[in-house]
A and B are shown apart, each in its own frame.
Chain A
Amino acid sequence: MTGGNKVMLDIPVNETVTLADLTHDPYPIYKQMRAQTPVVRVAQTNRIFVTTAEHTKWIKENPEIFSSDDPMTPMKPAFQAHTLMRKDGAEHRAERMAMQPSFSPKVIRSDWAELYEKIAKEYVSLLPRGETVDLFSELCGPVAARILAHMLGLEDATDEEMQRWSQRLIDGAGNFGRDPKLFEASDAANAEMNALFEKIIPRHQSEPNNSAFSVMLRAKNPIPLSQMYANIKIAIGGGINEPRDALATIVYGLLTNPDQLEEVKRQEAWMDAFEEGIRWVAPIQVSGRRTTQEIQIGDVVVPKAETVMTIQASANRDEAIFDDGESFNVFREKHPHQSFGSGPHHCAGAQIARRTLGHIMLPLLFDRFPNMQLPNPEDVVWSGFGFRGPLNLPIYLD
Chain B
Amino acid sequence: MVSITFIQPDGAAQTVQATVGDSVMQTALNNNIEGIFAECGGAMMCATCHCYIDDEWAEKTGDKSDGEDDMLDCAETEVTDASRLTCQIKVTDALDGMVVRLPSELA
**A binding-site residues for B, Cβ under 8 Å:** 57, 60-61, 63, 93, 96-97, 100-101, 103-106, 109, 336, 340, 342-346, 348, 350-351
Contacts and interface: CB of A to CB of B under 8 A. Distances in A.
- 8 smallest A-B Cβ distances: which pairs? A346-B40, A104-B74, A61-B41, A342-B41, A344-B43, A105-B76, A343-B43, A346-B45
B9 to A, nearest CB: 17
A6 B74 CA distance: 48
Contacts of B39: 336, 340, 342, 346, 350
B75 A105 contact: yes
Nearest to A105: B76
B40 A342 contact: yes
A104 B48 CA distance: 12
Contacts of B40: 342-344, 346
Contacts of A344: 40, 43, 45
A105 B41 contact: no
B70 A61 contact: no
Interface string B47-74: 0000000000000000000010011011
Contacts of B46: 346, 350
A345 B42 CA distance: 11
A344 B46 CA distance: 9
Contacts of B67: 93, 97
Given A103-B74, A340-B39, A350-B39, 6 more contacts: A63-B43, A96-B45, A101-B74, A106-B73, A348-B45, A351-B74
Interface residues of B, number: 16
B41 to A, nearest CB: 4
A103 B74 CA distance: 8
Chain B at the A interface: mostly helix, strand, loop or mixed? loop
Chain A at the B interface: mostly helix, strand, loop or mixed? helix
Nearest to A107: B74
B66 to A, nearest CB: 9
A284 B52 CA distance: 34
Contacts of A104: 73-74
A60 B74 CA distance: 21
Contacts of A61: 41-43
A93 B68 CA distance: 11
A104 B47 CA distance: 10
27 contacts: A93-B45, A97-B70, A97-B71, A100-B70, A100-B71, A100-B74, A101-B73, A101-B74, A104-B73, A105-B74, A105-B75, A105-B76, A106-B73, A109-B106, A336-B39, A342-B40, A342-B41, A343-B40, A343-B41, A344-B40, A344-B43, A345-B45, A346-B39, A346-B41, A346-B45, A350-B39, A351-B74
Interface in B70-106: 70-71, 73-76, 106
A370 to B, nearest CB: 25
Question: B39, B42, B45, B71 — which one has the most chain A CB atoms within 10 A of its CB?
Answer: B45
Interface in B2-27: none
A106 B77 CA distance: 9
A274 B42 CA distance: 24
Contacts of A60: 41
Nearest to A96: B45
A360 B28 CA distance: 31
B43 A351 contact: no
A349 to B, nearest CB: 12
Contacts of A109: 106
Contacts of A100: 70-71, 74
A180 to B, nearest CB: 36
B45 to A, nearest CB: 5
